[in-house]
A and B are shown apart, each in its own frame.
Chain A
């Protein structure tokens, strides 16, 4: 007996809620640094803050031991530019990202990440995460450095992407946080940031939250706060019955950090940038299908008759040997690598890939479906590294793929793993075949925008810092989350040591408590959280899709407000779990408003942002090559303009390194 259905049919009774419920009970927690979000970024922020001798608390939506998009593991660590084998400097890496994105990524954040990524990874090693081939399993391979035993991905020559045996990375950072005395509050749904005097734009002095098992209310008072939450995977689409297994973020991904920041008056940038929802879960479980890229990078692809699909370099020139897939080609200083939170790569930094005319050649009958990933064609060290090391340590691969497949008899030495069978167009996008064409084109994802932070990773609000790959402008992926968390945590701690005593506004707390519990006091006829979430997705897809105009955006904003004031205001929650999910719907609406209001500010179309204004169809007019940060002041949107290279303009210094030296601290 494993399921609720089995239980009720066997017992003929409904099981009662298993946890003691204490709605209205208020718990007060006082700390120096409060970290909201206990994923890898949050745990790292907490560890570095605690290392400075201040009191630290983590407010976590799930359970911090395994939660977060990075909680399920990692197999390669990007931007480890200062490792002893790297031929790529932080400047080179940062500029490659910045130029590829035509300036639409936070280069200061990228620089911080590449300056400190390797140090951050070495700390993971000290916490018990293996980052070296200590068993000499890959001795003599092209991707291994014999002296350090480090192994590398994508670009075996330049060696800035380090392969990591990181299936246990989250339990490791969690245990380290506990060892440092961090107070971890699990199962907490954050509902607001508290500000001095309850004023939007005031100094942040803490947060409120509801426990989703007991229903108890929490008031956190903190001298400094770090937001280290994740993305908003539920914003454009909500059908977890179909998508949860294929998604790269769990159902807690509801934009809660962005929402509470936006409502407190924090400034955001590039939130108008969305991209097709490749990773929203509409296809297959991550890494579950044969492919040639990302974790499977370099794997030979053959057709149904065993004919191999050719590879080309970034400039379209054919590659002859398998080993060339892992090397930069003529005209390339280095290869950046995939999964770093940028949506476009200039050729000098782009990966080698399968021939881009593959869809056409499938249509013409040259290659016969289905395709297979034929790992047997690789040398043993490469094969074992891809299926055994990379698959086995990357997020959602240890149990879901490696363990499940090998128990079912899959043997990479003998078997070819089938690639998805799909419309030939689907084979164009080389990275992640397991998504691509299977995601409906109307489903978008937030794509690179976030909190606008300064060189301290502080937001515009005093006392509020931000970290995590998916939450700040200029973030990235797994390693980037660790590194920004570590940096934001130490800056928050420095601030907390001199910050005045945090005083919360009683009226703000009371209003927040009443808002948080509203769904418990409704008529039981009110609709539930899932239906509301689905409706939010509908509004976003229809009114803030790839194409939009001022009218659709304003209509979308009106409908989000309607939904909030009508269906959501009368929604009913039967227990603390449903209450948490309903409060997430409130957050999603706030994030939707933020995206639409940001979109209204950009009165031009932009190719790099994949942003199409039907009322301003001209693509990339030069006067619109700028950032348009938005925040709320007294409930009204306040926008401004910022040059793309603001991070090198006054009050900052003119070079990356000077700024870093001035701000990094220790």
Chain B
């Protein structure tokens, strides 16, 4: 990582619509291929996951995640304004949770119907 400071435009909003796990991603670019709005481009370094170039054009359909042949390689992130809005309360205990919280509860592993 370079320590140089560059002149770059402000970070876009939303900032990061997906993240890639470089250890799982196989750089097949299938997500790049199917994204309806061309949010991604192939990385110039062919051994790296795609780059998010147009994050504000993402409509969060999750198609890239469904298309990915390697579960866990790509994760969709709602924008912060949406994550902060998603709250739930455990009925028995009254505990409050939210999407993206610091110490999240364990996952609910039940798959969707079908």
Contact = CB atoms under 8 A, between A and B. Distances in A.
Interface of A: 1-5, 7-10, 12, 15-16, 18, 61-63, 65-68, 71-72, 130, 135, 137, 165, 167-168, 187, 212-213, 240-242, 244-247, 249-252, 284-285, 288-289, 370, 372, 374, 376, 384-385, 388-389, 392-393, 395-396, 398-400, 402-411, 414-418, 420, 577
Interface in B38-95: 38, 41-44, 48-63, 65-67, 76, 78-79, 81-82, 85-92
B61 A396 contact: yes
Contact of A400 (B14, B55, B61, B113): B61
A4 B99 CA distance: 26
Contacts of B33: 63
B57 A12 contact: no
B97 A410 contact: yes
A408 B13 contact: no
Contact of B88 (A9, A67, A402, A417): A417
Contacts of A288: 78, 82, 85-86
B89 A2 contact: no
Given A409-B97, A418-B89, A398 B38 contact: no
A244 B58 contact: yes
Output the residue of B15, B58, B59, B76 with the most chain A CB within 10 A. Answer: B59
A5 B11 contact: yes
A245 B60 contact: yes
A284 B33 CA distance: 27
Q: Is the interface of B mostly helix, strand, loop or mixed?
A: loop
A127 B84 CA distance: 39
19 contacts: A2-B20, A12-B6, A16-B44, A67-B36, A137-B113, A137-B114, A165-B113, A244-B56, A284-B82, A398-B66, A399-B61, A399-B63, A399-B66, A400-B78, A414-B91, A416-B88, A417-B88, A420-B85, A577-B38
A588 to B, nearest CB: 16
Contacts of A385: 113
Nearest to B52: A3
Given A2-B49, A62-B38, 20 more contacts: A2-B19, A4-B53, A7-B43, A63-B35, A245-B59, A249-B59, A284-B85, A288-B82, A374-B91, A376-B91, A384-B113, A389-B114, A395-B61, A400-B60, A407-B107, A409-B105, A409-B106, A411-B108, A414-B91, A416-B91
For the complex, would chain A's binding face be called helix, strand, loop or mixed by DSSP majority? loop
Interface residues of B, number: 71
Contacts of A168: 66
A417 B79 CA distance: 19
Nearest to B92: A414
Contacts of A404: 76, 78, 99
**Most-contacted residue by chain A among B63, B78, B106 (CB, 10 A):** B63
A247 B104 CA distance: 27
Nearest to B67: A66
A414 to B, nearest CB: 6
A2 B75 CA distance: 11
A438 B8 CA distance: 33
Contact of B51 (A2, A244, A252, A393): A2
Contact of A405 (B49, B91, B99): B99
Given A2-B16, A398-B66, A62 B36 contact: yes
Nearest to B9: A5
Contacts of B110: 388, 406, 411
Nearest to B13: A241
Contacts of A247: 59
A10 B36 contact: no
Nearest to A530: B56
B60 A10 contact: no
B40 to A, nearest CB: 9
Contact of A244 (B59, B99, B112): B59
A396 B113 contact: no
A408 B78 contact: no
A66 B51 CA distance: 20
A180 B87 CA distance: 46
A7 B113 CA distance: 40
B57 A244 contact: yes
Contacts of B55: 3
B37 A250 contact: yes
B2 to A, nearest CB: 6
Contact of A245 (B1, B2, B79, B101): B79
A153 to B, nearest CB: 14
Nearest to A406: B108
A252 B36 contact: yes
B61 to A, nearest CB: 4
Contacts of A406: 107-110
A558 B66 CA distance: 46
Give the 7 A-B residue pairs with the shortest CB-CB distance, closest first: A399-B62, A62-B36, A409-B105, A392-B112, A66-B63, A389-B113, A72-B61
A12 B7 CA distance: 10
Contacts of A393: 112-114
B61 A135 contact: no
B24 interface: no
Contacts of A18: 41-42, 44
A250 B59 contact: yes
Nearest to B42: A18
B62 A398 contact: yes
Contacts of A244: 56-60
B12 A241 contact: yes
A399 B65 contact: yes
Contacts of B43: 7
B89 to A, nearest CB: 5
B85 A15 contact: no
A255 to B, nearest CB: 16
A72 B114 contact: no
A408 B35 contact: no
A370 B85 CA distance: 12
Contacts of B89: 372, 415-416, 418
Q: Which of A10, A246, A374 has the most CB of B within 10 A?
A: A246
A7 B19 CA distance: 14
A71 B63 contact: yes
Which of A244, A288, A416 has the most C-beta atoms of chain B within 10 angstroms of its own C-beta? A244
A418 to B, nearest CB: 4
B6 to A, nearest CB: 6
Given A241-B12, A245-B60, A406-B110, A399 B76 contact: yes
Nearest to B62: A399
A338 to B, nearest CB: 21
B69 to A, nearest CB: 14
Given A388-B112, A415-B91, A405 B86 contact: yes
